[in-house]
Structure 1
Amino acid sequence: MLFAYAPANGHLVRLDDPEGLAEALWIDLYRPMPEQIELVAALGVNVPTLADMEEIEISNRLYREDDLEVMTVVVPGQSVSKTPSAGPVTFMLSPSRLVTVRHHAPRPFETFPERANRAALGCTTPERVFLGLVEEIVGRLADLLEGIGRSVDDISASVFPSETSAGPDELQAALHRVGHESELLSRIRLGLLTVERMLSYFGQTIDGRADAHALKQLVKGEMRDIQALAVHADFLAQRIAMASDATLGMINLQQNNTVRTLSVVAALFLPPTLIASAYGMNFHNMPELDKPWGYPGALALMLASAVATWLYFRWRRWL
């Protein structure tokens, strides 16, 4: 799909006519078709393939091609099947327009067109649209980090309830949530890292651009935001690790309690089993065999041994 936007009264207005791409200030390509790639190529912009975007070499992520700055980052979003994922997004910045290419759906690309006028520098030039979009991405990453923090609070409350201990189902659900939040946090940290590298590269190319001073100030501000979010992400990583350890510890305690109960039950039957084994031996000279009280006596002795064992365990506080 191809989405084209042009500035109008301080806002970004979507262009419905593909023939008017020359007037577009921002062209957003989402899983572009060959005919859409050709339309953008006619403007002098070579759209990279997904394989090119996924290349991890720094020379393929951040480079200059004539007057076109090509920058690729990895940000969280949703795949075609609406499952959480992280994928590359390429920003191609020229003096006349910004072209973005993506094969998944990060939410900032859906929300930014409606809020472009709220960006710090507005949306009147390609550079300002680019930094406004980056600002929207950083804000989205901050929202995701806050969501992870709330989720970790809920996990801790479920693992350590105030009244009763958590059951196996609750602990298993908590462990699943811990894994989910840990995976999301890893995608956010990767996004912060790649966006920071992109801004550092862009900051070296600002000199000579219009509004260079204002652009530099905004880049510095966004870099500070990213660094603060990175510290917050490290803090959340420690909380997630603690929640994971606590959940596994509670599971181990429950398993230990179960094993201890089974061991105690088995131990209660050991003395009666010993007595029954002794009287189950087939020897001729066993006086109790001929006594009328032999059988009930053996039963009473087995019961007394089991009760004595139970009382001993209670005295040692093993039960």
Structure 2
Amino acid sequence: MLSAYLPAENGLAPLGAERDLGEALWIDLCGPDAEETARVESFGIGVPTLEDMEEIEISNRLHREGDCQVMTVMLPGRDAEDRQFSAPVTFLLTPDRLVTVRHHTPRPFATFATRAERSSAGSGTPVRIFLGLVEEIIARQADLLEAAGRVLDRVASDVYGEEMNDVEGLRLALRDIGQQGELTAKVRLALFTMERMLSTFMVWNGTMKHRDPQIATLAKAQMRDINALEVHLDFLNSRVALATDATLGMINLDENAVVRTLSVVAALFLPPTLIASIYGMNFANMPELDEPFAYYIALGAMVASAAGTWIWFKAKGWL
């Protein structure tokens, strides 16, 4: 799908079907077909395929092709089944337009056009649209981290609370913690690749034709935002580790309680089993077998031995 935008009073407006694609300052390609790719490549911009984007080594994801800056980052998004995963997104920045190529749906690409007027970078030039989109992506990563923090707050409240006393609830809590750990890992990858992209962009900025003195200031501000999010991410990762250890500890305590109960029950039946084993030997000379009340005496001895064992465990504090 091809979406094209031009500057408007309220930020960015979709390019009408009757307008020439060359007028667009931002062209967004989402899973483009051959025709859409050819339309963009007619401007002298090479559009990478998904295989190219996935096979690019980290060291080669940032390069220049003439006046075009090619920058590939990894961003979390949703698949067709609404599951969170990370996939590459390529920014093709030229003096005339910005082209983004993606094959999944990171939320910032759906929301930026309607909120471009709120961007500190504005949307009057391709490079400002690029920085505004980066700002939207950074804000989205912050939202994801805040959501992960809220889930960890809820899980910690449940795990440490008195009402959480069943193993199944603890297992569900452990699943939620694992999901947040995976999410923070995806956000960390996004922040890492975006930090490299911005640092490289700042080096290239001095040779760009726009000569906008505010661009470097805006990029540095976004770098500071990324650094702040990385600090917050480290804090969340420590919370994930602590919550995982606490939940596993609670599960172990519950399982130990079950094992202790089974051990006590087994111990209670050991003396009666011993008595039953003795009188089940069938030796010829067992004088107790001739007594009329021998059966009841044996049963009484079994009950007394089990009760004595239980009283002893209770006195030791094992029950």
TM range (shorter): over 0.9
Sequence identity (%): 55
| Aligned 1:100-111 pairs, distance under 5 A | 100-111=100-111
Q: Which amino acid aligns with 1:290?
A: D
Corresponding residue for residue 134 of structure 1: 134
- Deviation per residue, 1:166-208 (Å, 9 max, x gap): 2111111111111111111110000000000000000011124
TM-score (norm 2): 0.97
- Deviation per residue, 1:114-157 (Å, 9 max, x gap): 00011102100001000000000000000000000010111111
Corresponding residue for residue 119 of structure 2: 119
Shift in Å, 1:80: 3.0
The answer to whether residue 221 in structure 2 is matched with residue 250 in structure 1 is no
What root-mean-square deviation, in Å, do the aligned CA atoms of Structure 1 and Structure 2 show? 1.3
| Aligned 1:227-266 pairs, distance under 5 A | 227-266=227-266
Equivalent pairs, count: 318
The answer to whether residue 169 in structure 2 is matched with residue 170 in structure 1 is yes
Corresponding residue for residue 314 of structure 2: 314
| Aligned 1:86-97 pairs, distance under 5 A | 86-97=86-97
Corresponding residue for residue 98 of structure 1: 98
- Other structure's SS at 1:69 match: strand
Q: 1:125 to 1:300 in 2, by over 3 A?
A: same
Q: Is the 8 A contact 2:164 2:170 kept in 1?
A: no
Shift in Å, 1:318: 0.9
- Other structure's SS at 2:204 match: coil
- Other structure's SS at 2:153 match: helix
- Other structure's SS at 1:259 match: helix
| Aligned 1:269-284 pairs, distance under 5 A | 269-284=269-284
Q: Which moved more, 1:244-253 or 1:276-285?
A: 276-285
Q: Which runs of 5+ in 2 are unaligned?
A: none
Corresponding residue for residue 29 of structure 1: 29
Q: 1:206 to 1:78 in 2, by over 3 A?
A: same
Q: Which runs of 5+ in 1 are unaligned?
A: none
TM-score (norm 1): 0.97
Q: Is the 8 A contact 1:27 1:100 kept in 2?
A: yes
Distance in 1, Cα, partners of 2:59 & 2:234? 28
Distance in 2, Cα, partners of 1:200 & 1:80? 33
Q: Which amino acid aligns with 2:193?
A: T
Distance in 1, Cα, partners of 2:218 & 2:125? 14
Distance in 2, Cα, partners of 1:226 & 1:165? 37
Q: 1:64 to 1:288 in 2, by over 3 A?
A: same
| Aligned 1:167-246 pairs, distance under 5 A | 167-208=166-207, 209-246=209-246
Q: Which amino acid aligns with 1:103?
A: H
Q: Which amino acid aligns with 2:126?
A: P
Q: Which amino acid aligns with 2:21?
A: L
